[in-house]
Amino acid sequence: MSRYITTRIVLLIPSLFGLSLILFILMRVGGDPVANLVRPEASPEEIATVRAAYGFDRPLHEQYLTSIGRIMVGDFGDSVRFRSPAMPLVVERLPATLQLSVVAIMIALLLAIPIGLISALYQNSALDVTLTLSSTLGRAMPNFWLGIMLILLFGVQLRWLPISGTGDWSNLVLPATTLGIGIAPTLTRLLRSSMIEVLRREYVVTARAKGLKERVVVLRHALRNSLIPFVTILGLQVAWLLGGAVIVEEVFAWPGMGRLIYRSVQVRDLAVVQAGVFIFALIVMVANLLVDLSYALLDPRISYRDK
């Protein structure tokens, strides 16, 4: 097990190099980075001084290698807007984004598991068709619009819930629901189809034949075996979730990493964007690793034991 984890972590390294290269190229094709650092009326000498001070006068490959060296020690440079190191700014806002994402995942599971189960058990019934169609509609709705509609209904019309900022749990309800509804349809669809497949298997027939209660058959035999593809998709949804967080955080003024990245893109605060995207990608990679490791827990036949 520990060897498997080590291998996987070592394999993350080339990915992180690739990521830093993508980010580096992105920053440089976007124009002269010095232009953001000096006053618009700066003289050529002033610009040259700033350029040399930040090392932007050296050849590109050298600049890239320097930036890699810095990234390795967690130094992504200073934020132009906050006049402080970029990485701490991002890490500071990480808990808010994680809180939002975790609640969103819980809401998604609370929706997806019952709906997926009911759809599979009553396959092709009117209920199943209705549920399937509404989850397809859920896939089609842009989540910022869903967020605005929830604001319109619960914030503006009914005045039940606060529509922006932080405070107590009630501030979390609307943004987390918006994000949760965004990933629920994919999970529902997957659970439905894998349950339908599993329910046809022989061991389910056997379990029924030996007189087990339907509840035990469905929950212990069928559901558990549907969980592996389910968890895989859940892991893949983490990337989607963090992407959605950028927009949802902006709509609900939630002070997380997503909003920070968006605001930083607006003012071309390169260091913060780079640090933020880096952390986001790292979270996605770690989430996928955890998904792979969870297979061993879900399916006793899979094990990563050291040989």
49 versus 123: smaller Cβ distance to other proteins:
123
* Of 271, 284, 300, residue with least CA distance to 24: 271
Return the structure tokens found at 224. 């558990």
Q: Does residue 292 belong to the site contacting other proteins (CB under 8 A)? A: no
Give the count of residues interacting with other proteins (CB under 8 A): 53
CA 205 – CA 213 distance, rounded (Å): 12
In one letter, which amino acid is 302?
I
Q: Does residue 19 belong to the site contacting other proteins (CB under 8 A)? A: yes
Of the ranges 41-49, 92-100, 219-227, 269-277, which one interacts with other proteins (CB under 8 A)?
Answer: 269-277
Of the ranges 50-58, 73-81, 100-108, 143-151, which one interacts with other proteins (CB under 8 A)?
Answer: 143-151
In one letter, which amino acid is 2?
S
CA 119 – CA 94 distance, rounded (Å): 36
Q: What are phi and psi of 73, to 5 degrees?
A: -100, 15
CA 51 – CA 26 distance, rounded (Å): 19
Of the ranges 63-71, 99-107, 203-211, 255-263, which one interacts with other proteins (CB under 8 A)?
Answer: 255-263
Contact in structure between 259 and 249 (CB atoms under 8 Å): yes
Least distance to other proteins, CB of residue 286, Å: 10
What is the maximum alpha-carbon separation in the chain?
87
Return the structure tokens found at 160. 């039940």
Q: Does residue 193 belong to the site contacting other proteins (CB under 8 A)? A: yes
Give whole-number Cα distances, 260 to 19, 24, 76, 227, in Å.
Answer: 20, 19, 15, 35
The C-alpha torsion from 243 through 248 and 254 to 259, rounded to 10°, is 50
Contact in structure between 20 and 67 (CB atoms under 8 Å): yes
Least distance to other proteins, CB of residue 174, Å: 13
Work out which of 53, 106, 149, 216 binds other proteins, going by CB under 8 A.
149
Q: Does residue 65 belong to the site contacting other proteins (CB under 8 A)? A: no
Least distance to other proteins, CB of residue 210, Å: 27
Q: Does residue 29 belong to the site contacting other proteins (CB under 8 A)? A: yes
Of the ranges 29-37, 52-60, 79-87, 97-105, which one interacts with other proteins (CB under 8 A)?
Answer: 29-37
Given 3-state DSSP classes, what are the helix, strand and coil percentages for the chain, each rounded to the nearest 5?
A: 75, 0, 20
Least distance to other proteins, CB of residue 128, Å: 9
* Of 241, 230, 258, 94, residue with least CA distance to 180: 241
Q: Does residue 126 belong to the site contacting other proteins (CB under 8 A)? A: no
Q: Does residue 156 belong to the site contacting other proteins (CB under 8 A)? A: yes
Q: Does residue 77 belong to the site contacting other proteins (CB under 8 A)? A: no
Q: Which residues bind other proteins (CB under 8 A)?
A: 14-15, 18-19, 22-23, 26-27, 29-31, 123-124, 133, 136-137, 139-142, 144-146, 148-149, 151-152, 156, 192-193, 196, 239-240, 242-244, 246-247, 250, 258, 261-262, 265-266, 268, 270, 273, 277, 280-281, 284-285, 288
